[in-house]
Structures are given as C-alpha cells and as structure tokens.
Amino acid sequence: MLGVFSKRGPVGFIRGCRETILSALTGGDIMDPTLDAVKTGTSTIGITFDGGVVVGADHRATMGHFIANKSVKKLFDISDYVALTTAGLVGHAQSLSRTLSAELKLYELKQGKHMTVKGAATLTANILVGRPHYVQLLIVGVDSSGSSVYSIDSAGGSIPDVYCATGSGSPYMYGVLEDQFKLNMSEKEALRVAAKALLASAQRDAASGNGMDLAVITPESGYRQLSEEEVSRLIQEI
C-alpha cells in the first residue's frame, strides 16, 4: 500500500481507491466521464457526379448508447463552392467548421478569388496536424479542376477520391456506394445514391439516423442545400 502511495502520490492513491471501490460495486463497469460525457456524430457522405458533387449527413448525436440529440448539424457550407461534413466529437467539429469558414472567407478577401477544394483540404489537414481533433471529415466542392471529395482523418491525413463515406455508419454506406456508384452520374442519380446510402446506415447503425441533410454544389449555382420537402420526395422515390 505504501509503495502504491509513493508512486502515485496522494491524489492518485485516493483516485485508485475510489476506482477499486466503484469497480467492486459495479462489477467492473465504470463509465469514464471524459469519454462518455461527449456527443459524437456519425454518418456522412460525398459523391462526385458529372458537373458537381452531392454531400450529405445524418442528424443523430450519441453519448455511448444514449441518443443525445436528434438534430445535430454535421454539414457545413464553408464557402460558396466548398462544404465540410463532420463525424466525431460535436464540439471539435463545430470549432473546426467555424475556423475553416473564417479562413476561407479571409482568403477570398485577400486574394480576390475562391480557395480551391484541394487548398481547403490541405488547410484542414494542416490544422489537424498541429492540433489533433477527434473527428473524421470530408471536404467536398468544385473548382476549375472539377469536382473533388477529400477524406481527412483526425491526424491530418488527406486522401482524394470520387466518393467517400465517414463515421460509424460508413461500412453500410460503402455497400451501397460500391454497388451503385458509377462515373459521370447525373445530379439526380447521385442524390438517389447518397440518400439510399444514408438510409442504409440509419437502418443498421444505432448511432446514425433521425433524418438527413443533403446538398448539391455546382459551378453554376454554388452550394445549395435541399429543403426538407425535397429530401422527403427523394426518399419516397427510392
């Protein structure tokens, strides 16, 4: 006992006694407040099509097995032609969306032009390398080089692709994407595939669901988010 006290200090010793007592009372099932008292969000998708990109996300946030919120925003327009989706800790995701939106607007003011999608992805990756966040992100958009989807992990790894899914529901969405995605799809086809993938994740992943947000980004119209009525009609057509 004295050895434990000397190694861990008085605070560590008291904490260790508390954990031992709680473990005995609960059968070893102790909730770590630093992990369980956070909200996480979970299914997002980005798909390129002929002339633009479709991007979407579900609404559910969870704390462990508890549904903490049914209307969390995980899809953000950080410029007129670039969008961000977030999966992971809600606090980290919201902080990043504010930072990126401000940085892209500042770039436009200084340079007199929009930042490219690759530039936005690189900026995001550099922020995460400097200060890791518990998130998995998609940076999607259009620029002079065409349509782009970048998957960015919590350590700052950035990978471009023609489509991508993130979050705990991603395995179910990839099943739909692998089966139904094809190059140079129309906007309507891409929207149907995205909606079908998000529905699949909602049906099989307990941490996903409670509706979805969908948006389209094109060079002509920029970022346009579908209304609830448009999303409902799209789901009925599937």
Supply 120's token pair. 């936005």
DSSP-derived secondary structure for 90-152:
HHHHHHHHHHHHHHHHHHHHHHSSPPPHHHHHHHHHHHHHHS--SEEEEEEEEETTEEEEEEE
Residue 86: strand pairing partners: 137
Please give the order of strands across the beta sheet that includes 163-166: 163-166, 44-49, 52-58, 212-218, 222-225
Q: What angle do CA 14, 18, 19 make, to 5 degrees?
A: 120
Give long-range contacts, CB 8 A cutoff, 24+ apart: 127-133. 127/96, 127/99, 127/100, 127/156, 128/152, 128/153, 128/154, 128/155, 128/156, 129/155, 129/156, 132/156, 133/88, 133/89, 133/92, 133/93, 133/95, 133/96
Query: Any catalytic annotation for residue 42?
Result: yes
The single residue of 40, 42, 44, 85 carrying the catalytic annotation is: 42
Residue with the two structure tokens 């004295």: 2
Q: Which residues are catalytic?
A: 42
